[in-house]
Structure 1
């Protein structure tokens, strides 16, 4: 394509493929060549990869990226040509959009749009940004260009942002600024399944046309606030309502702060209720507010919604909304410094349990909310040593799943238990999620899904409430850009969902009457 060649000539690109990139392309966008090295090293082989840099960087940066690309090829990466060096002068959005239109990427990898800052000693508690401003600027330009690309072409684009100051050797799951989604497959009161996935252009939804499928409507772009960041928490309670939580950049409120926003889907396939801002516990100073972690939430047995975020002081801030829609103010839970990894679930007797990974250790901290006393209790003696990026709530099991730091084995810990239970599956990375109540040869079973050792989804099954009886694991055959999800359909069949490397979700449904747990072929939505 001459047009694509002309674009590359203007960008300073000397070689590379002509025309759209390969299907499922991951395009890493960095401020300079050096900033692309860590994301490239952390990306597992699989999807084809290309690199774009907004600037040429300093001495030796191009050579460092060249060495990283050579090492990536040796690890099995399919690297598409040499890096694009755009060398922009104030037109980053337009130049990136031009490149996206040329390559048609399915996924964008960027730095953190919110820079790392540190506390400055003095009489007033202040925070100073310590990251080069070009990194955040490159990320924000990539986000704007990705939104514009999706709006112009209608092609969904997934965005991963690598957290500022993350360990350069950390996995994608552990270093993501916006945690990879889980629980994004839900069943409404009418029996129809819904998929809610975040994209560069906002929240996309697919809905079964009739309960039990097999056909789906979508993708449907849902109404969303401007500058919604590329992450989404999906929560469903006993009432069947689907609650969405995320972060938006609040430029309209002065400065570049972040605020937590939420919306509710009351019926499958129907419009969302209006998005609502619930603010930021550090809203008075943008340097503090931009350090906000990503929200997680849980519903207790009274229907009260509890929302949690990691605050600028590396502690926990929380708000509650009662069934009448009234919010409390932000409450700060004192305790140890924690990382951007939280999970929450409803506990017994109306309690809510929250577990967070510690910032600089493999340990975890547990808080429990007593609704009668309206207070939180912190427990620092949690028998959990977890791999970063592997913590997930397991409401159907009444506990939390994680990977044990010393063996990488999946485990389940129920609050109050003296030790976790082993679930096997030491291969793979990331979290596991499950759905209880699937009938397998007449037995009521829990179906688990997780990323396998080869990157493809792995599926496990055990008797409900009895993982100690043993778990049978089998490969599912499809890779997923997000954490795989599982739910029961209107007929009680287990349905497994993945987000394919081409950016399109896929589902496969349990085949009733089969010997063991068997599924029909994958169906692309």
Structure 2
């Protein structure tokens, strides 16, 4: 396949793209500068495959970019939606089976940093259309002011039955969850029996619609799984590894499995781990596969796409130098090796990957000035080649 030699640095202009100016990207328009994403998964398709990118605004609210419905490679200018200075610079994006989007954020109830927060969400039912207003689902710590001001960032996911699952780390290292039914009814907050959990919970939906949740913790990695879509999660055996906080992500692979990635707590290198459907480990003899040890930070963005006729898993990370690096290997064949290539594009926070309407990989990054840059897979060359970066 030539993945190692074929993974070329973006920067070769191609039809329909434009490279950024020689002096670097211009600042984002006033009011639309995005905060550095703490999570990946913020580039998502609607029900017809049209992509939208979402980020928390630096001054509150949501910044959104949307692919044009008619012009190839074109995007709308950034929009600031639901502006509210009480919204903290964090966002979790959950996409349902029909392409509906729920955006989860945190909102301060008062003006000070010690004020309690509430978890809020807004919904989008069609690409480029207005969002609903913010709706509050409260705080699992209730009226206890100090813990309510110190909860972790919410993460959300939609299972194959259409149920929305929200997970929140408590101020003391526990985890709470709340679910919304297909009919819009929310359950009460429920505590999952665990302790010592670190920030950066990572829920992933399998091909059959099951949710698999990994929790980095002080004494291992905790695993919670659904037996089938629509039912509560149950705890699986813990993993005897230690992951850095806010470094875990995952992607569905073959036969209803999930491949999880995190940064080793001691070395910071990216490792891969996979559970079988029955819960056993299936990546290497000891269950863990280390990828090329390039330095980086935060969670890796993940997608699958076709490269030279092979189903490949593509990874993107914020490199140690502050730019975006990409890697790829045949899906579930970590033994083939995964070598990082620096694209030299500035990347603040976690990048994002998705496939467009034609099935091509799209890579997205938030730059230092809070603007969006994207590049797209080239299909006229061998290997994992990318077009020129384009500033949206």
Distance 1:474 1:417 in 2: 32
Deviations 1:34-56 (A, max 9, x none): xxxxxxxxxxxxxxxxxxxxxxx
**CA 1:346 to 1:281, structure 2 compared with 1: closer, same or farther past 3 Å?**
same
Which residue in 2 is equivalent to 1:405?
265
Distance 1:249 1:352 in 2: 29
SS in 2 for 1:287: helix
Distance 1:372 1:296 in 2: 18
Which residue in 1 is equivalent to 2:90?
231
2:215 alignment partner, one of 356, 362, 367: 356
Q: Does 1 or 2 have the higher relative contact order (CA < 8 Å, sep 6+)?
A: 2
Q: CA deviation at 1:512?
A: 1.0
Which residue in 1 is equivalent to 2:76?
217
Distance 1:212 1:460 in 2: 29
Distance 1:238 1:224 in 2: 28
Name the TM-score, length of structure 2 as normaliser.
0.82
Q: Is the 8 A contact 2:211 2:233 kept in 1?
A: no
Distance 1:431 1:159 in 2: 16
Which residue in 2 is equivalent to 1:188?
46
Deviations 1:431-462 (A, max 9, x none): 212111x2222223222111223221111112
**CA 1:512 to 1:347, structure 2 compared with 1: closer, same or farther past 3 Å?**
closer
Q: CA deviation at 1:180?
A: 1.1
Deviations 1:118-145 (A, max 9, x none): xxxxxxxxxxxxxxxxxxxxxxxxxxxx
Distance 2:231 2:101 in 1: 26
Which residue in 1 is equivalent to 2:296?
428
Distance 2:42 2:294 in 1: 24
SS in 2 for 1:468: helix
Distance 1:456 1:199 in 2: 21
Aligned length: 355
1:514 aligned to 2:381? yes
Q: CA deviation at 1:403?
A: 1.3
**CA 1:472 to 1:373, structure 2 compared with 1: closer, same or farther past 3 Å?**
closer
Q: Say which structure is richer in helix.
A: 1
SS in 2 for 1:200: coil
Q: CA deviation at 1:376?
A: 4.3
**CA 1:206 to 1:379, structure 2 compared with 1: closer, same or farther past 3 Å?**
same
Distance 1:350 1:444 in 2: 20
Name the TM-score, length of structure 1 as normaliser.
0.62
Which residue in 1 is equivalent to 2:284?
none
Runs (5+) with no aligned partner, structure 1: 1-22, 25-103, 107-149, 161-178
The higher radius of gyration belongs to 1
Q: CA deviation at 1:207?
A: 0.9
Deviations 1:115-174 (A, max 9, x none): xxxxxxxxxxxxxxxxxxxxxxxxxxxxxxxxxxx9xx82434557xxxxxxxxxxxxxx
**CA 1:191 to 1:365, structure 2 compared with 1: closer, same or farther past 3 Å?**
closer
SS in 2 for 1:429: strand
Which residue in 2 is equivalent to 1:154?
30
Distance 2:30 2:207 in 1: 45
Which residue in 2 is equivalent to 1:85?
none
Which residue in 1 is equivalent to 2:244?
387
Which residue in 2 is equivalent to 1:143?
none
Q: CA deviation at 1:373?
A: 10
Distance 1:279 1:264 in 2: 17
Distance 1:353 1:203 in 2: 27
Deviations 1:392-438 (A, max 9, x none): 233457132101234332122224243123332442222212111x2
Runs (5+) with no aligned partner, structure 2: 1-22, 282-286
Distance 1:372 1:274 in 2: 28
Counterparts of 1:401-480 in structure 2, within 5 Å, are 401-415=261-275, 416-418=279-281, 419-436=287-304, 438-480=305-347
Distance 2:358 2:209 in 1: 30
Q: Is the 8 A contact 2:107 2:117 kept in 1?
A: yes
Q: Is the 8 A contact 1:300 1:346 kept in 2?
A: yes
**CA 1:475 to 1:334, structure 2 compared with 1: closer, same or farther past 3 Å?**
same
